[in-house]
Structure 1
């Protein structure tokens, strides 16, 4: 475990040294939040959605992040074009399937992305991941209403079925590549009081993917880093969501390699 944590800490240092560009095709509701989170962890954000430029833009990226939060058919087309170009160049593709299972458009968009492109990492809640593999889970809007038992098996099945690393976030975050499993206990309940923290978590995972070739370690490192930042922010903000929101940016920006090593609460199976 120490060797893997050491590698994740080095990934954090690499992000801040190299400042990789993270190309987002993302959620209009939280675009500013994800841009700020990208900057705070040490990477650079670009939000480029038009199909006329996404292939050109992704060439310069360290990772491509696709977020289905405010989806349109035109946006799906842009995502497919960008992901195919990223695949061609060996650039990691990270998917946040917001609301998959809630509507036919979101579910079909996710299906198309997996059928027509290579997704390296998917980060979602339990209901979204269940929808992608045909399991039932309760969902309202884009929020999961239930945590299913056996989430580790869901993550493994998703990874084996779709050929990707799967990260399921909840009270305990679960990451699997179909063989390895990480159970991450970092985080805080205040993260649920601010819109877009799930999207921000995906952004941090994408930044780690730009620095780490092992997608399992990238997803695990990103979620540990974000969880620790949430804990630190809550210590300062108390039960005030607005203050917590600001403190979360500060905590991401101030997160050190030493803190990632000393505060990580993760078990590997």
Structure 2
């Protein structure tokens, strides 16, 4: 894999369009800025034709859905496809309600996604695997995550990333397992949402979406891991802020030093 992705990302400073949820919009924007990117947060349907033409990636997050927002997502996604920029789907809590399920089905039908990134419960739902999700949280269950990632990637012809204690990333044929990170990630709101945006930013660097997603997820996990080395398990507020600082300081040499990646 290319080992200068963070350097190139900061040099390029891509403009990333986020249609995300109201809980995390500020945090996602600041996280992208920490990585040297330029965020724009908009779901106004009047802008959805124009923004994908000037941005380098689109990230769609269904965390706080409204009917009007869904219309904007579809319009933006189609425009992004027309303009050949990568599109990321974060299907937050997809199994929690009928509205979320129907929305994700519609988005997957109307838009060609380069990456679907979610937690175990969300991706298990897309794979139609029995799983006890808890709202927008990962929940619990037993499953072969490598196979789930492969199945969903093949079904929707895209890269799939499952975030958790170990991250699983697949293009439908091969699977990368990332054994970095920290248990503090699920204890703050927005950690997964920001990761989806970071993945969108990395996807602007080239055509190998699998390797770029692995690079993005590894870099992000390591940023959190480094913070945790200085904190106790109950310092979630400190982690929330320090993660932004860690992303800002992160470089390719540090990622290469810490990375624990295996392939199947």
Partner Cα distance (1:172, 1:72) in 2 = 32
Partner Cα distance (2:97, 2:110) in 1 = 20
Partner Cα distance (1:177, 1:107) in 2 = 23
Listed one character per residue, the Cα deviations across residues 109-137 of structure 1 (whole Å, up to 9, x for unaligned) are 11111111101100001211122232221
Partner Cα distance (1:249, 1:261) in 2 = 20
Matches within 5 A, 1:205-216: 205-216=199-210
Specify which of 126, 129, 136 is matched with residue 142 of structure 1: 136
Specify which of 157, 167, 189 is matched with residue 151 of structure 2: 157
Indicate the larger mover: 234-243 or 38-47: 234-243
Deviation at 1:144, TM superposition (A): 1.8
Partner Cα distance (2:224, 2:232) in 1 = 11
Deviation at 1:238, TM superposition (A): 2.8
Partner Cα distance (1:190, 1:144) in 2 = 14
Partner Cα distance (1:169, 1:155) in 2 = 11
Deviation at 1:17, TM superposition (A): 0.1
Listed one character per residue, the Cα deviations across residues 42-81 of structure 1 (whole Å, up to 9, x for unaligned) are 1110001011102211111111000000011111110110
Match of 1:256 in 2: 251
Specify which of 102, 107, 129 is matched with residue 108 of structure 1: 102
Partner Cα distance (1:131, 1:108) in 2 = 12
Contact 1:238/1:244, CA 8 A, preserved across alignment = no
Indicate the larger mover: 156-165 or 146-155: 146-155
Specify which of 213, 218, 234 is matched with residue 212 of structure 2: 218
Deviation at 1:237, TM superposition (A): 3.0
Partner Cα distance (2:128, 2:183) in 1 = 29
Contact 2:52/2:83, CA 8 A, preserved across alignment = no
Partner Cα distance (1:226, 1:259) in 2 = 12
Partner Cα distance (1:140, 1:22) in 2 = 30
Q: CA RMSD in A?
A: 1.1
Specify which of 260, 263, 266 is matched with residue 261 of structure 2: 266
How many residue pairs align between the two structures? Answer: 263
2:85 aligned counterpart, secondary structure: coil
Q: Does 1:85 align with 2:79?
A: yes
Q: Does 1:234 align with 2:224?
A: no
Q: TM-score, normalised by structure 1?
A: 0.95
Q: TM-score, normalised by structure 2?
A: 0.97
1:236 aligned counterpart, secondary structure: coil
Match of 2:67 in 1: 73
Partner Cα distance (2:142, 2:53) in 1 = 39
Partner Cα distance (2:247, 2:261) in 1 = 19
1:29 aligned counterpart, secondary structure: coil
Partner Cα distance (1:214, 1:148) in 2 = 31
Partner Cα distance (2:80, 2:206) in 1 = 16
2:23 aligned counterpart, secondary structure: helix
